[in-house]
Amino acid sequence: MNAISITGLVKSYGKVAALRGIDLTVPQGTIYGVVGPNGAGKTTLIKTLVGVVRPTSGTARVLELDPLNDKWALRKQIGYMPQDAALYETLSARDNITFLGRAQSVEGLDQKVSEVIAFTELVSRARDPIHTFSGGMKKRVSLACALIHQPKVLFLDEPTAAVDPQLRARSWELFRKLAQGGTTLFISTHLMDEAALCDKVTILNQGKILLVDSPRDILNRGKTRLSVTSRDQCSQTEIESTPEAIAQKLHEFGLPNDISSVEVEPSTLEEIVLEIIREEPQ
C-alpha cells in the first residue's frame, strides 16, 4: 500500500499557482525527499497533505484517507514538524510534548513523553523553558512533538535547515531509525546533500515536478570530469558518472580489462568537519 498518493494536485492563491498538477506516490516505510528552491511549493504540498491547505483541484490521499474530509481519522496517524519550531516558548520541552500528546489522547502519556525525550536526546534539558534552547534543540523538541503519538507517516518541513552539521547527522540517524521501524517520512529540503540520504527524491520547481528518482540514479545523470596525467601529459575528458563509464575510460590508460567498474567516493566537507569534531577530546 502506498502511504501517500497524489493525482493532478493544483493549488492557486489568486493568480499565483503554488502547485501545478502534482502526481506522485510514496511507498510505506520510505524516506521520501522533496527537493527544490525556496518558493518551489514544498511547504504548500506538505500543508495540503496534512489538511491545512485546501487544494484548488486534484486529489491527495494519505494512508488512503482524504486530508480534509477524513481529517479526524488521519490526524491520529500522521505527525507534522513545521519549518519553524512552532512551540510555546515559556513552557518546557516536556510541557510542549505533553500538550500535543493530550490532543491525541495518548495512553500512558507520561511514559511516552519520556520515551520520545530519550529518543530525541533531550533528557538533560527536558524541564527547561524553550526560550533557552538553541535553534537546533528547538527542532529536536518539535520532532519529539510530532512523534508523541507514534504516527505512521511523518511530514517534516525542512527539518534540519539552520542546524549544525553534527546535529543534522544525528537527526538523520533518527530519521533512518524511524523508517526502519516502518514509519514513512516525507521530508522537504533545499539542501542537496541531505536529499542524497533519502530513498527517493522528487525535484520540485515553481509548483511542478521535474524529476522523480533515487538519489543514486539522479547522480548518475551527471557528468564526471576525469583528468589522467601520464608522463607529464594531462588528458581531460568528461564522461558519464556511472562506475562502468569510468572503468571503460580508464581501460584506455592501461586499467586491466577485467576491472569493469571504478567508483571514487571522497568524503564530503561536512563528513571531514564532523570527523575533526569527533576526534577532539571532550
Q: Which residues bind another protein (CB under 8 A)?
A: 47, 50-54, 68, 72, 75-76, 78, 80, 82-88, 90-91, 95, 99-100, 102-105, 129, 145
- Please give the Cα distance from 210 to 157 (Å, whole number): 19
Residues 6+ apart with CB under 8 A from 163: 135, 136, 139, 171
CB nearer another protein, residue 72 or residue 222: 72
Residue 224's identity, in one-letter code, is T
CB nearer another protein, residue 146 or residue 203: 146
Task: Name the percent of the chain in helix, strand, coil, to the closest 5.
Answer: 35, 30, 35
244 Rama sector, left if φ>0, alpha if ψ -120 to 50, beta otherwise: alpha
Asked if 188 contacts 46 with a C-beta cutoff of 8 angstroms, the reply is yes
CB nearer another protein, residue 145 or residue 247: 145
Q: How far is the CB of 191 from another protein (least distance, A)?
A: 21
- Please give the Cα distance from 3 to 26 (Å, whole number): 6
CB nearer another protein, residue 36 or residue 82: 82
Q: How far is the CB of 77 from another protein (least distance, A)?
A: 11
- Please give the Cα distance from 187 to 201 (Å, whole number): 9
DSSP of 254-277:
T--TT-------PPPHHHHHHHHH
Q: How far is the CB of 56 from another protein (least distance, A)?
A: 11
Q: How far is the CB of 241 from another protein (least distance, A)?
A: 40
CB nearer another protein, residue 89 or residue 173: 89
CB nearer another protein, residue 56 or residue 206: 56
How, if at all, do strands 184-189 and 31-35 pair?
A: parallel
Q: How far is the CB of 52 from another protein (least distance, A)?
A: 5
CB nearer another protein, residue 142 or residue 248: 142
What is the total residue count of the chain?
Answer: 282
Q: How far is the CB of 99 from another protein (least distance, A)?
A: 5
CB nearer another protein, residue 20 or residue 176: 20
Give the residue carrying C-alpha cell 543534522: 168
Q: How far is the CB of 82 from another protein (least distance, A)?
A: 5
Q: How far is the CB of 113 from another protein (least distance, A)?
A: 14
- Please give the Cα distance from 199 to 176 (Å, whole number): 10
Residues 6+ apart with CB under 8 A from 127: 92, 93, 94
